[in-house]
Amino acid sequence: MAQYGLVEWHDGDKAEVDIVFVHGLWGGRESTWTKDGVIWPKDLLSEDIPNSRILSYGYDSGVVRSDTAEVTQGNLEDDARRLCSFLDDERKRTNTTGRPIIVVGHSLGGLVLAQVICSGDGAAEGDSSNSIAQKIKGMLFLGTPFYGSGIAGWGEVVRRIYSLVQKTDQTTLKNLKLDSEELRDLRSGFPDVICERNQASAEVAVFFFFEKKTTYKVLVVGERDASCPGVGEILPIYANHLDICKFDNVEDDGYKQVRAKIMQVIKGTRVTKANKVRGGPNKLPSTDTDQ
């Protein structure tokens, strides 16, 4: 049975941040983050960052249809909207709507998260997309194909991913249309929104991780492809595309990198809150509240 919607993996007694994981193409809300039976957000990160609530979002990430194989911004918008609706409902139910959010996306799941930011920027106040987007304070992208100049094309990379994961005839993707005008708008719109927010008082820390190893001799999403120029920090992880999101112990270098950036965002939100509440950075706020 498909696992869609939100699942909660951890909820600390003094949780001060929501950390949300979104899988990529043909992934799963559990399998994407699992290595040798270890679901690292649930089994490792919860121990290292106990004052958090950790959730994973599952959605229909397949792009193959019987007569075509097309991913358009409309689909990304739908997935982003559903994610925001689920998450906003949960935060309202638990009276935690004021809590900052950190999101982690693998592969095309990162595009869903980029769409959350773009959709939220244009949504009305009170809309779930706006409510969630405005509380996102950190974004970590693991092997997400944003693309810069000189790239073969979205369709080519998704064909690579599809052939690696599904081991099937690539002709089934002959109608893939990922170089659509809508997706080009997303690739340009996302960095614009991040720059605008970082110039105002709604800063978002962005980290792009790219793979250094090939997957079956193919470098699926390399450094040039995995980021938006001029936005965020770009970092390597010595893994392939399928394993860049999988860790089985706290000594894994990739896990250490991702954990460090999540903790960096949390520290930054504490300082920002202290400045707003107390008018200065000298004392961090108490974490005794869920808000």
The predicted-structure confidence for 173-199, as pLDDT tens digits, reads as follows 333 344 456 567 777 899 999 999 998
Q: Minimal CA–CA distance to 254: which of 267, 242, 243?
A: 243
Q: How confident is the model at residue 62 (pLDDT cuts 50, 70, 90)?
A: low
Q: pLDDT category, 213, cuts 50, 70, 90?
A: very high
Q: Is the pLDDT of residue 118 over 80?
A: yes
Predicted confidence at residue 158, as pLDDT, reads 59
SS3 142: strand
Among 25-34, 48-57, 234-243, the range scoring the smallest mean pLDDT is 25-34
28 is written with which tokens? 């799963």
Radius of gyration of the chain (CA): 18
Q: What is the pLDDT of residue 273?
A: 62
β-bridge pairing 5-11 and 53-58: antiparallel
Q: Given a cut of 70, is residue 146 above it in pLDDT? A: yes
Q: How far is CA 55 from its chain centroid?
A: 12
pLDDT score recorded for residue 274: 56
Least confident range of 76-80, 118-122, 161-165: 161-165
Query: Is 290's pLDDT higher than 50?
Result: no
With tokens 């249809």, the residue in question is: 65
Helices (H), the chain: 40, 46-48, 73-93, 109-122, 128-135, 154-166, 181-199, 253-278
Q: pLDDT class for 93, splitting at 50, 70, 90?
A: very high
Higher pLDDT pick, 70 / 212: 212
Share of the chain above pLDDT 70, in %: 75
Give yes or no for residue 61 having a pLDDT over 90.
no
60-69, 86-95, 282-291: range with highest mean pLDDT: 86-95
CA-wise closest residue to 145 among 101, 168, 112, 116: 112
User: The sheet that has 136-142: what strands, in order across it?
Assistant: 5-11, 53-58, 18-22, 101-106, 136-142, 205-211, 233-237
- Select from 238, 255, 253 the least CA-distant residue to 47: 255
Mean pLDDT, the chain, rounded, equals 81
Q: Label residue 38 by pLDDT band (50, 70, 90).
A: very high
Using one digit for the tens of pLDDT, what is the confidence trace for 73-88?
A: 447 788 899 999 999 9
Query: Which range is least confidently modeled, 23-32, 33-42, 87-96?
Result: 23-32
Nearest to 234 by CA among 266, 212, 201: 212
Whether pLDDT at 35 is above 60 = yes
Q: Which residues neighbour 287 within 8 Å (Cβ) at sequence distance 6 or greater? A: 14, 16, 51
220 pLDDT band, cuts 50/70/90, is confident
Give the per-residue pLDDT at 276.
Answer: 54
> Can you tell me the mean pLDDT for 87-94?
97
* DSSP-derived 3-state class of residue 203: coil
CA separation for the pair 203, 135 (Å, rounded): 10
At residue 166, the pLDDT reads 53
